[in-house]
Amino acid sequence: MYPPPFRYHRAGSLKEAVALLAELGEEAKVLAGGQSLIPLMKLRLASPAHLVDLNFAPGLSYIRPENGEIRFGAMTRHAEIEYSEVVARIPILHDCASGIADVQVRSRGTLGGSLAEADPSGDWTPVLLTLETEVICVGPQGERSVPLAEFVTDAFTTVLAPTELVREVKVKLPPAKSGGAYVAFKRSAPVYATASAAVQLTLVDGDVCAQAAIALGGVGLTAIKAAEAEAALRGQRISAKTVEAAAEAAMRAADPQPDMRGSVAYKRVLIGALVRRAIDAAARRCRREQVEVSHQYA
Ligand SMILES: Cc1cc2nc3c(=O)[nH]c(=O)nc-3n(C[C@H](O)[C@H](O)[C@H](O)COP(=O)(O)OP(=O)(O)OC[C@H]3O[C@@H](n4cnc5c(N)ncnc54)[C@H](O)[C@@H]3O)c2cc1C
């Protein structure tokens, strides 16, 4: 199906994009990779009167290590993250980028677009919630830095004003002896996950967990930070018993909706299994074992 008519504006710079959004107001939408927006327009679930294309604005696509952080330009594609040697320092980011849909979607879709879309089943938000992540937003009033935990406020909703856009995403490098893993369960490659688990750990003194961050995807209106599951690991030795306690706490934290992907009970059991697998892979990565993590398929 064709989308309703709209006017196309090619921004030649970030400054021009901000000026266009200020001029066009709520009738305008930013076009990044178009992998969510264009299908929604074709289905007539979105009908912006104006599209402001960021694809020709220079300086918005980069992966830069700087001052203990990795900085990502908003227009950085999933595929660029997948193949980045800089990103290899945070393996959970590679797990995420390499598992998103298929090559076509990964080659066009962007990190900034994914966060701005705030799809409850999106992969980036749970993963980045397990790291210290800041979203740099820019609008007519200038820039502001928003912690990711405050950026997404509801399903498909963020703190962005209609005149603001995401310019950069900053991720702090985890401390030494850290490891993370992201495992999603999918019915097939080019669909969103039924559920997913992101786990980032720091282990000291022979497997004692100094820090734990656990986030769940696809089982709530937004990604869920599973605080009780994190507490079940923190200060404890990683063992079958502590892993089980964390998995059970994650199942309690999940708030899934029944849909074509499965019932509430099914998704709860699934999230427990994904958390167990992600903890195992994260702990092994803390011990510097080479662990390949890939999504689980039905
Ligand atoms: C078949 C298919 C399968 C997919 N599977 C998955 C999956 O498994 N996991 C997953 O995470 N994603 C999946 N996606 C979505 C994909 O990751 C998209 O890339 C992503 O959701 C949106 O990024 P985009 O760059 O394409 O944004 P667009 O579609 O261009 O924009 C999405 C929204 O964000 C806004 N926006 C974009 N960039 C900015 C910005 N810099 N600042 C402010 N607002 C902005 C737009 O105005 C729009 O509202 C899939 C998409 C398709 C088509």
Does one domain contain both 28 and 139? Answer: no
Looking at residue 146, what is its pLDDT?
98
Looking at residue 1, what is its pLDDT?
80
Tell me, rounded to whole angstroms, the distance of Cα 29 from its chain centroid.
21
Look at residues 172, 196, 227 and tell me which one is the last residue of a structural domain: 172
Q: Which residue has the higher pLDDT, 2 or 108?
A: 108
Residue 293 has pLDDT above 90, yes or no: no
Ranges assigned E (strand) in the chain: 7-10, 28-31, 50-53, 63-66, 69-73, 133-139, 142-147, 152-154, 157-158, 165-172, 178-186, 195-204, 208-217, 224-225, 296-297
The model's pLDDT over 144-163, given as tens digits with 9 standing for 90+, comes to 999 999 999 999 999 999 99
Q: Does residue 1 lie in a domain region?
A: no
Q: Which residue has the higher pLDDT, 297 or 33?
A: 33
pLDDT averaged over every residue in the chain:
96
Does one domain contain both 43 and 72? Answer: no
Q: How confident is the model at residue 238 (pLDDT cuts 50, 70, 90)?
A: very high
Does one domain contain both 264 and 219? Answer: yes
The model's pLDDT over 5-64, given as tens digits with 9 standing for 90+, comes to 999 999 999 999 999 999 999 999 999 999 999 999 999 999 999 999 999 999 999 999
- Give 216 Cα–ligand 1 centroid separation in angstroms: 19
**pTM for this prediction:** 0.97
Q: Does residue 263 lie in a domain region?
A: yes
Count up the domains in the chain and report the number. 3
CATH number at residue 151: 3.30.465.10
Looking at residue 190, what is its pLDDT?
84
Does one domain contain both 224 and 286? Answer: yes
Q: Best of 36, 121, 194 to mutate for ligand 1, by most ligand atoms within 8 A of CB?
A: 36
Q: Does residue 20 lie in a domain region?
A: yes
Beta carbons of 120 and 218 less than 8 angstroms apart: yes
Q: Residue 207: which residues within 8 A CB-CB, separation 6 or more?
A: 237, 238, 283, 287
Does one domain contain both 284 and 182? Answer: yes
Does one domain contain both 166 and 187? Answer: no
Does one domain contain both 82 and 162? Answer: yes
CATH number at residue 30: 3.30.43.10
Q: Does residue 160 lie in a domain region?
A: yes
Does one domain contain both 33 and 71? Answer: no
Please list, residue by residue across 27-49, b when 16 or more beta carbons sit within 10 angstroms of its beta carbon and e when fewer do: ebbbbbbbbbbeebbeeeebebe
Q: Which residues line the pocket of ligand 1, CB cutoff 6 A? A: 29-37, 39, 74, 100-101, 105, 109-110, 112-114, 116-117, 119, 122-124, 160, 165-166, 190, 192
- Give 247 Cα–ligand 1 centroid separation in angstroms: 30
- Partners of residue 77 on adjacent β-strands: 110
Q: Best of 21, 114, 156 to mutate for ligand 1, by most ligand atoms within 8 A of CB?
A: 114
Query: Residue 162: how many CB atoms within 10 A of its CB?
Result: 15
- Partners of residue 200 on adjacent β-strands: 180, 213
Does one domain contain both 165 and 182? Answer: no
Look at residues 172, 202, 232 and tell me which one is the last residue of a structural domain: 172
Q: Does residue 204 lie in a domain region?
A: yes
The model's pLDDT over 161-206, given as tens digits with 9 standing for 90+, comes to 999 999 999 999 999 999 999 999 999 888 899 999 999 999 998 7
The boundaries of the domain holding residue 285 are 178-297
Residue 295 has pLDDT above 90, yes or no: no
Tell me, rounded to whole angstroms, the distance of Cα 98 from its chain centroid.
12
Looking at residue 294, what is its pLDDT?
79
How far, in Å, CA of 19 to CA of 147, rounded?
A: 25
Does one domain contain both 35 and 94? Answer: no
Look at residues 172, 204, 228 and tell me which one is the last residue of a structural domain: 172
Q: Does residue 234 lie in a domain region?
A: yes
Q: Does residue 237 lie in a domain region?
A: yes
The model's pLDDT over 252-261, given as tens digits with 9 standing for 90+, comes to 999 999 999 9
- Give 116 Cα–ligand 1 centroid separation in angstroms: 8
Identify the residue whose C-alpha is closest to ligand 1 atom 12.
122
Q: Does residue 94 lie in a domain region?
A: yes
How far, in Å, CA of 286 to CA of 298, rounded?
A: 28
Q: How confident is the model at residue 280 (pLDDT cuts 50, 70, 90)?
A: very high
**Placement of tokens 């709860």 in the chain:** 268
Does one domain contain both 138 and 198? Answer: no
Looking at residue 94, what is its pLDDT?
97
Does one domain contain both 214 and 291? Answer: yes
Looking at residue 63, what is its pLDDT?
98
